[in-house]
Amino acid sequence: MTKPNRKSKLIVFDVEGVLMPKKRYLFFEVGRTLSFPQFLKIIFIGFLYEMGLISLKSALKRIFKPFKGISVDELLRIFRRVPLMPGTDEVFETLKHEGCKTALISSGLPTVVVQDLALRLQADYAVGFQLEENDGVLTGEISGDVLEHRGKLTVLAKILEAEKLTPNDCVVVADDRNNVPMLLPEALKIGYNPDFAVRLKADIVVAGKLREILAPIEGKPREREKQPSRNELLRESIHACGFFIPLLAFYAGLYVTALFILVVTLLYMMSELARMERKNLPIISYITYHAANQSELFEFTTAPIFFALGILLTLLIFPNPASSAAIAIFALGDSTASIFGRIYGKKALPFNRGKTLEGSTVGFFFAFLAGSFYIAPLMALIGAIVAMFIEYLPLPVSDNLVTPIITGAVLFIIR
């Protein structure tokens, strides 16, 4: 339920994933200063955290241990190389003109880094975790309120008290579960490319340009771009082409198709790593550039990898026709739901406000048609229902991975 129109006075931003590319600073910029084994260790720890196996505090303490001996100045130089999300400067200039106070609260970046960003954006508050140092050189130890489970809420409460404001005067813009304690009932909660936890709490979900958050902050009706961009059309066209993978498997053979998917996925990963180094891999980098959204252009984009793995595992685990139908339903249903939701979407779905009733309805229809190409209509109807239900759920893992697998499992069981 969207909050009634009101003028907000304090706008709180998470930093990673909202104002700067998520994980790029740590994994692809700072990580260059470490040895390859240390870099792999950081990646592994980050994976354990994403899977929920270790806490944020434990993960960051382990991640920053290898940074012992790096100077604070070098850390700042590395940070300044990281591009901000498109529109960030424009958003902060507008908020400053409107007389809003702004706060940057990060649980994944040091305070010295957040303060440096706040100086550039002219933000009023900047809080991260504390880096222990000795004569300007890092000791590898960290501390701070934001590392605790409800630490960000503690920081927010202090800022509200200092400004003599209430949560009703506050807007929180966030993308992941670390920010859930700050998503107070009275505040306006905006999820920007949010994960499942933030989607459940958000009043508004923004998956496009960062400046789309300005209208609700200013108490104005939100104006969404109705026409999909060329990048979105290309992206969803590639997604829809998954419909033809079962046909390729039929004519070229299952293992040849699986090998083809693996090779393309590896080439894509190499292309993304090269892009992080500001280099290009012919053809693949060109396609990525013209299919990615604005936020993904500055980040290692994992959605295509999950898309390929979801199709590959479905193809290998389940026999025909269950696997073929599941892949077709997933590929065509999801892509059409996205495009038609962008053009005609008006009514956001409860618990997942990033999706619309109109888009999901059209996606369901095309998913049914796609499934009917491979299996009986009744079975296709069941498969479409399962797939659209999974797409609707705000899951903690990529729906590109789980949707075809679960749909394939259901179709295999009831065949």
Q: How far apart are CA 117 and CA 397, in angstroms?
A: 31
* 135 three-state secondary structure: coil
Copy the structure tokens of residue 138: 């890092």
What pLDDT is attached to residue 5? 46
Q: How confident is the model at residue 31 (pLDDT cuts 50, 70, 90)?
A: low
Which range, 174-178, 315-319, 336-340, is most confident? 315-319
Q: How far apart are CA 68 and CA 196, in angstroms?
A: 34
Q: How confident is the model at residue 324 (pLDDT cuts 50, 70, 90)?
A: very high
Phi-psi region of 389 (alpha: psi -120 to 50; beta: other; left: phi over 0): alpha
Share of the chain above pLDDT 90, in %: 44
Residue 248 has pLDDT above 60, yes or no: yes
What pLDDT is attached to residue 406? 95
Residue 405 has pLDDT above 70, yes or no: yes
Number of H helices, E strands in the chain: 17, 9
Q: What are phi and psi of 31, to 5 degrees?
A: -60, -20
Determine the average pLDDT of the residues in 74-84: 84
Residue 228 has pLDDT above 90, yes or no: no
Copy the structure tokens of residue 154: 């503690």
Per-residue b or e along 147-157, where b marks 16 or more CB atoms closer than 10 Å to that residue's CB:
beeebbbebbe
Q: What are phi and psi of 208, to 5 degrees?
A: -110, -120
CA atoms within 13 A on the CB side of 407: 38
Per-residue b or e along 292-312, where b marks 16 or more CB atoms closer than 10 Å to that residue's CB:
bbebbbbbbbebbbbbbbbbb
What pLDDT is attached to residue 183? 94
Determine the average pLDDT of the residues in 316-320: 94
Amino acid in position 99:
G
CA atoms within 13 A on the CB side of 318: 26
DSSP code per residue over 55-111: -HHHHHHHHHGGGTT-BHHHHHHHHTTSPPPTTHHHHHHHHHHTT-EEEEEEEEEEH
Q: What are phi and psi of 326, to 5 degrees?
A: -65, -45
DSSP 120: H
* 173 three-state secondary structure: strand
Q: How confident is the model at residue 262 (pLDDT cuts 50, 70, 90)?
A: very high
* 139 three-state secondary structure: strand
Residue 148 has pLDDT above 80, yes or no: yes
What ranges in 185-281 are assigned the alpha helix state H? 196-201, 214-217, 230-240, 245-252, 254-276
Pick the residue with more confidence: 188 or 302?
A: 188
Pick the residue with more confidence: 351 or 303?
A: 303
What pLDDT is attached to residue 2? 47
Q: What are phi and psi of 253, to 5 degrees?
A: 105, 150
* Residues paired with 105 in a beta bridge: 127
What pLDDT is attached to residue 1? 45
CA quadruple 97, 103, 109, 115: dihedral sign: positive
Determine the average pLDDT of the residues in 124-148: 90
Cis geometry, peptide bond prior to residue 228 (ω within 30 degrees of 0): no
* Residues paired with 348 in a beta bridge: 356
Residue 62 has pLDDT above 70, yes or no: yes
Residues 6+ apart with CB under 8 A from 287: 234, 238
CATH of domain 10-217: 3.40.50.1000
407: part of which helix (H) or strand (E)? helix 399-413
Tokens 């984009």 belong to residue: 301
What ranges in 277-396 are assigned the alpha helix state H? 284-291, 303-317, 322-344, 357-372, 377-392
Contact criterion met (CB below 8 Å) for 216 and 190? yes
Q: Where are the domains of the chain?
A: 10-217, 230-413
Residue 394 has pLDDT above 80, yes or no: no
Largest interatomic CA distance in the chain: 72
Min mean pLDDT across 278-287, 300-309, 376-385 is at: 278-287
The crossing angle, in degrees rounded to 10, of helices 322-344 and 357-372 is 150
Residue 331 has pLDDT above 80, yes or no: yes
* 38 three-state secondary structure: helix
Residue 170 has pLDDT above 70, yes or no: yes
Residue 213 has pLDDT above 50, yes or no: yes
Q: Please, what is the end-to-end C-alpha distance for the chain in angstroms? A: 40
What Å distances lie between residue 298 and 18, 44, 377, CA to CA?
12, 22, 43
